Amino acid sequence: MKAIQCYADSLRDNSPRYANLAITILKVFFTVNGFKRAKALELETYHVPRRFRITPEYIPTKSEIYRMADSACSLRDRAIILTLFSTGLRNSTLRALRYQDIAEELKSGRTNLMIPIYPEMKEVVPTACKGGIPYYTFTCDEATEAIRLYLKEREEKYGGIEDSEPLFCSEYNQIPKYLRSKKPLTARELQILVKEAARRAGIGQWKAVHPHCLRKAFETILHSTLIDGGNLDVKIQEFFMGHILPGSQDNYFDSSKVEYMRIQYSRLKFGRTVIENKFKVLKAAVARAFEDTEIDPEKVIEEYVLSKYNLTPKVLRQISGVN
Nearest to 133 by CA among 247, 262, 261, 241: 241
Residue 319 confidence (pLDDT): 52
Count Cβ atoms within 10 A of the Cβ of residue 45 and give its class: 0-12 exposed, 13-18 middle, 19 or more buried: middle
- Nearest by Cα to 268 from 210, 302, 301, 219: 219
Q: What pLDDT, on a 0 to 100 scale, did the predictor assign at position 51?
A: 56
How is 1-36 classified by DSSP, letter by letter?
-HHHHHHHHHHHTT-HHHHHHHHHHHHHHHHHTT--
Q: How far apart are CA 210 and CA 84, in angstroms?
A: 11
List Cβ neighbours of 3 (8 Å cut-off, separation of 6 or more): none
pLDDT at 103: 96
Q: Which of 93, 79, 85, 158 is nearest to 122 (CA)?
A: 93
The pLDDT, as a whole number, for residue 265 is: 96
Query: Which helix (H) or strand (E) element contains residue 199?
Result: helix 187-200
Q: According to the model, what pLDDT value does residue 305 have?
A: 72
Domain 56-292 fold: hpI Integrase; Chain A (1.10.443)
What is the rounded distance in angstroms from the CA atom of residue 191 to the CA atom of residue 207?
A: 10
Q: Is 139 exposed, middle or buried, given 0-12, 13-18 or 19+ CB atoms closer than 10 A? A: buried
Q: Kindly list the averaged pLDDT for each block of 10 residues, start to end, along the chain of length 323.
A: 73 73 80 72 67 76 95 94 97 96 95 96 92 95 95 92 94 83 92 96 95 96 92 95 88 90 94 67 74 77 74 63 50
Residue of 256, 215, 249 whose CA lies nearest to 235: 249
Among 152, 174, 97, which residue's Cα sits nearest to residue 129?
97
Check: CB of residue 97 under 8 Å from CB of residue 168: yes
pTM above 0.75, yes or no: no
**What type of residue is 233?**
D
pLDDT value of residue 270: 93
The confidence score (pLDDT) of residue 113 equals: 97
